[in-house]
Structure 1
Amino acid sequence: MQKNVKDYSPGCSRRIRVRCTRSVMVLLWLLLLTSCQPVSTRSSLEKVVDDGVLKIGTIFGRTTFYHGSEAPRGFEFELARGFASYLGVEVQIYPFYSYQALMKELEQGRVDVVAAGDAVPKDFARHFKLGPVYQQVSHKLVFLQGQERPRDIDDLTQPLVVVKGSSNEHLLEQLKDTHPDLNWKATDNKDTWELLDDVANGRLPYTLVDTNTLSLQRRQYPQLSIGFTVERLVPIAWLLNQQQDDSLRAAVIEYFGTIHQSGVFKALEDKYFGHVRDFNYVDTKVFLQAARVKLPDYAHWFKQYASDIDWRLLAAMSYQESHWKPDATSYTGVRGLMMLTRDTARELNIDSRTDAQSSIKGGAQYVSNLLARIPARIRRPDRLWMALAAYNIGMGHLEDARTLTQRQGGNPDLWVDVKRRLPQLEQKRYYKTTRYGFARGHEARQYVENIRRYYDSLIYLDENTRFLSAQAAPSS
């Protein structure tokens, strides 16, 4: 019986080696063929478009992103939402409390763009791709009014406190080279708004802040004073991952170019910052005092009759009109909390213009009537600001200003363009070409901008201190 034995003869060995060699050659050929095939990679822009989602990282804050009473709000949020719409994709917002955590997410590719609304430190260009500069701010040192004013870095007798990882901390790190005695503390437990609150209430001697944030916060804390400018004209721009290609960055550049050309950016910037650039210490302080002392007496009626506008906006209008004085009277004969004319009161069936409830009811109805007369294509908030201007100057003069705007190449449906032409109604070379002639257009523009500032302050007071939340209903 023949046994099954392996053939270990030299001839067999050679055959095995030949087969092995052939197998190796085939494998190498297949690997070479595979390596020659084009690798399927997507650009950073293609990835966003194909996935249908734009991931935006930001910082919680009033100028960036926050949850409003009805929907998300914030300058950076609206810019980001617009960019997603421009690309035809959905936007997902990833808000952070920490700058360091936010930057880490970008470096690791978990967000596509960082839109933090913060100034870009000089060294960031080495670590991130930058979008176009769309704003410039200055860094100010602020202190509590009444304390000794520091006029330069060397006057600081106590350590500064700034937000950890923010542009303010990066700026201090740069200044350390020329001011070796400079000391500061970086906190991750508070944001810039809270640090300003601490300075305003005497808990901190000073801090650093950019001019955008300061303009908004001084409406609530007029006692914040500027010591000196630490750095001027620092750019604000979006950040992208340094390791990715330039396709998404190119789309960002195109997007900002488009919204600048169309006027959308200008309108959005005006919405958040246009009315707070000018600061009046006395006016702000008097208003805040009145909001705490006088407004609670009338808040329930503002809430009751403000149908299609925010009651706080109606209250802000009333303060601009009468400083919440029911018996207020102007030299033109308008009277009451909402300063109604005799004819307007008659049309609205208001018997007593100096009765607080009647005046508020009439004023609210008149604003609603004006809103209904604004062309339907004009969106809020532009629609609101134009209605307020018409409340002050009349619908006819508002239409004259819109006509001038269109003649001069502006957009008659954007408040930011129309308000520039309102003062022209006081200039003969312009008003002689209009239907309704001369009007105090400068006053109308200031009227609206004042109301917007008061409105912002009331929103802040209402949402942060709840100073009206416990108000009882009026007794019958």
Structure 2
Amino acid sequence: MRNRSRQWGLQRLSPLRRGFNVAVLIGLVSTLAVASRAPTELERIKADGVLHIVSRNGPTTYYEGTDGLAGFEYTLAKAFADELNVSLAIRDEEHLGRLIDAVDDPQINLGASGLTITPSRSEQVVFGPAYLAITQQLLYRAGEKRPRSFEDVVAADKDLLVIADSAHAERLRQLQQQHPTLRWREQSELEMLDLVEMVHSGEIDYAIVDSNAYSINRSLYPRARIAFDLEEEQQLAWAFSRQRDSSLYDAAQTFFERIKSDGTLDDIRERYYGHVDEINNGGALLFAKRIKSRLPKWKKDMQEAAEIFDLDWQLLAAISYQESHWNARAKSPTGVRGLMMLTRPTAREMGVSNRMDPTQSVHGGAKYFRKIYDRIPADIQGSDRLWLSLAAYNVGFGHLEDARVLTERFGGNPDKWVDVREHLPKLAKRKYYRTTKHGYARGWEPVTYVQHIRQFYNILAWNEHLEQRRIAALEAADEPEGEFRKVNLPYTLNMSMSLL
């Protein structure tokens, strides 16, 4: 009886025990499943602490700026890495075809290189959210007959060059179905900047480039003109491997949704594709107007800073106008601030605690310019020293030295601005900057920067000259009748400042 009761008791408890055992078993299985599950792409990145991207060094992607790496793609990728709380590592790939292939490399997480979404590429990779619209444009040389369609291009039977494995080459293959006699050449070791220059110089007749690449180079190569747009807008996006899970892709989706909604993406676009208009008649008139409306508020600060650092106050005024249009509250998406638009590192180096303080900004900018001016080799004097200093102020001293090395290499005089300015744009071309110490730079920008400041300086100097004449005339009118007073009028318009 006792045995039966014990047996009955065990039988009565066994369902509870069975339930407990099942729960424990499920928990163990779940734990083991989680422990044995391979980490997602995003989990691996966070565990490693690094986001690895493949890109192509250049003006629309990434390059070495005056304060470290910069570029549209770099800034986007760095912001994404920051959001993931990891660092960013970039592998450079020169060839577009190999760049797309590299997206499947286990050591690469994504491709970020201004990649156009195309049908053939979409078969190989998964594209993330589009972040920039561009148009493919056919370029021709000003002075030649402008083609207005591919019928004209075919009829002209001229030299058309595109980058190998590019979206442009893919589009031409599609167009060849409509125009069987359409012919073109493809070359891999080229950038769009090269194509713009080659059209400008007449080395080739036609080229196809993206609208964003043309817009940042057109002022440097004005003979390269747009003949027509190939089609409607296309979209640029990051490329992700089809062989992996979607965790990183999903994180990128969330990232782009945020930066589109909070204005960050617009700020980055403005930083790299916004531009200062060329000084035309309207710009000169606006400048003259602001000489009267804005300059008087800051003139004393500029004169004091010029006195301290042995500079021309009108030069400081011209630099300040180029930087901020004499707006003491000026801010830029790049992080520069104030009248002289100082970066945070430069302000710290120059002892500026508040970049928005006009006096501190002007004195900090003057001190920084003087420092650069004093670094120029002592045997370079006169206007050459000044223009080279301005170029270094804009692009960085290291990049200026690279340009001087290139100038000498090509038989020019590295101490002459007229020679150096011809070679500064080479810093944006791979075949040249890969041989330099500091690498890629937006070499056309210091050329334009110096041109603008020289023009602003001339207007300021002429305005000052007229003002001195007016004051002298008033003083002469106050002299007693019959008394002759000699009036010395220094001609402050320094003609050496005019454009070469």
Query: Scaled by the length of structure 2, what TM-score is found?
Result: 0.56
Shift of 1:73: 1.3
Task: Determine if contact 1:64/1:77 at 8 Å carries over to the other structure.
Answer: yes
Is residue 162 from structure 1 mapped to residue 162 from structure 2 by the alignment?
yes
Question: What is the CA-CA distance between 1:369 and the residue it aligns to?
Answer: 12
**Partner Cα distance (1:193, 1:368) in 2:** 26
Contact 2:65 2:395 in 1 (8 A): no
2:72 matched residue in structure 1: 75
Q: 114, 117, 120: which one pairs with 2:117?
A: 120
Q: Does 1:129 align with 2:118?
A: no
Secondary structure of the residue aligned to 2:202 is coil
Counterpart residue type for residue 247 of structure 2: S
- Tell me the equivalent position of 2:219: 219
What is the CA-CA distance between 1:264 and the residue it aligns to?
A: 1.1
Cα distance in 1 between the residues matched to 2:257 and 2:184: 39
Residue type matched to 2:37 in 1?
Answer: S
**Match runs of 1:177-256 below 5 Å:** 177-256=177-256
Q: Report the secondary structure of 1:236's partner residue.
A: strand
- Structure 1 residue aligned with 2:299: 345
Of 163-172 and 250-259, deviating more is 163-172
Q: Aligned residue for 1:46?
A: 43
Alignment partner of 1:231: what SS?
Answer: coil
**2:91 aligned partner:** 94
Structure 1 residues 141-200: Cα deviation after superposition (integer angstroms, max 9, x where no partner) = 001101111111122212421111111111112222222211111111221111111111
Residue 482 of structure 2 is matched in structure 1 by none
CA positional deviation for 1:344: 4.2
Q: CA RMSD in A?
A: 4.4
Deviation at 1:207, TM superposition (A): 0.4
The answer for unaligned runs of 5 or more in structure 1 is: 1-33, 287-318, 324-328, 390-412, 414-453
- Structure 2 Cα separation of the partners of residues 368 and 139 of structure 1: 32
Q: Distance in 1 between matches of 2:81 and 2:134?
A: 26
Distance 2:324 2:142 in 1: 44
Alignment of 1:325-344 (within 5 A): 330=288, 334=292, 340-341=295-296, 344=298
Q: Matched residue of 2:90: which SS?
A: strand
| Helix, strand or coil at the partner of 2:257 | helix
Q: Secondary structure at the match of 1:151?
A: coil
Deviations 1:94-114 (A, max 9, x none): 121111121121123331110
How far apart, CA to CA, are the structure 2 residues paired with 1:123 and 1:49?
A: 31
Residue of structure 2 aligned with 1:359, choices 304, 310, 314: 314
Choose from 128, 146, 150 the match for 1:149.
Answer: 146
Q: Distance in 2 between matches of 1:346 and 1:226?
A: 46
Change (3 A) 1:471 1:70: farther
Identity %: 24
Q: 1:112 to 1:388 in 2, by over 3 A?
A: same
1:50 CA displacement? 1.3
From 363, 368, 381, the equivalent of 2:334 is 381
- Structure-1 separation of matches of 2:142 and 2:322: 39
Using the alignment, how far apart are the partners of 2:120 and 2:183 within structure 1?
A: 21
From the superposition, tell whether residues 387 and 133 of structure 1 become closer, same or farther in structure 2 (CA, over 3 Å): same
Distance in 2, Cα, partners of 1:141 & 1:352: 48
2:423 matches 1:470: no
Give, in whole Å, the separation in 2 of the partners of 1:468 and 1:119.
41
The Cα of 1:116 is off from its aligned counterpart by 0.9
Alpha-carbon distance in 2 for matches of 1:254, 1:243? 21
**Closer, same or farther: CA 143–54 of 1 in aligned 2, 3 Å:** same
Shift of the 42–228 alpha-carbon distance from structure 1 to 2, 3 Å rule, reads same
Q: Which is further off, 181-190 or 196-205?
A: 181-190
Instruction: Note the alpha carbon deviations across 1:107-143, whole angstroms, 9 max, x for none.
Output: 2333111011132212222221110111111111001
CA contact (8 A) 2:268 2:333 kept: no
In 1, Cα distance between equivalents of 2:188 and 2:323? 46
| 1:108 alignment partner in structure 2 | 105
Residue 374 of structure 1, CA deviation = 4.3
Aligned residues: 326
- In structure 2, relative to structure 1, the CA distance for the partners of 1:188 and 1:78 (3 Å cut) is same
Q: Are the counterparts in 2 of residues 371 and 383 from structure 1 also a CA contact under 8 Å? A: no
Instruction: Provide the C-alpha distance between the structure 2 equivalents of 1:271 and 1:455, rounded to a whole number of angstroms.
Output: 20
Q: Give structure 2 stretches of 5+ with no counterpart.
A: 1-28, 342-355, 357-389, 418-493
Q: What is the alpha-carbon distance in structure 2 between the residues aligned to residue 382 and residue 48 of structure 1? A: 28
TM-score (norm 1): 0.59
Paired residue for 2:480?
A: none
**Conserved 8 A contact 1:141-1:228:** yes
> Counterparts of 1:310-329 in structure 2 under 5 Å?
none
Deviation, 1:69, is: 3.7
Contact kept, 8 Å, 1:105 with 1:111, in 2: the verdict is yes
SS of the residue corresponding to residue 99 of structure 2 reads helix
Q: SS at 2:114's partner residue? A: coil
Pair 46,89 (structure 1): closer, same or farther in 2 beyond 3 Å: same
The amino acid that maps onto 1:174 is Q
In structure 2, C-alpha distance between the alignment counterparts of 1:367 and 1:160, rounded to whole Å:
38
Deviation at 1:333, TM superposition (A): 6.7
- Please give the alpha-carbon distance, in whole angstroms, between the structure 2 residues aligned to 1:173 and 1:382: 43
Distance 1:153 1:364 in 2: 46
Matches of 1:227 and 1:367 in 2, distance apart? 32
CA distance in 2, matches of 1:168, 1:271: 26
Query: Are the aligned partners of 2:81 and 2:88 in contact in 1 as well (CA < 8 Å)?
Result: yes
The residue type equivalent to 1:83 in the other structure is F
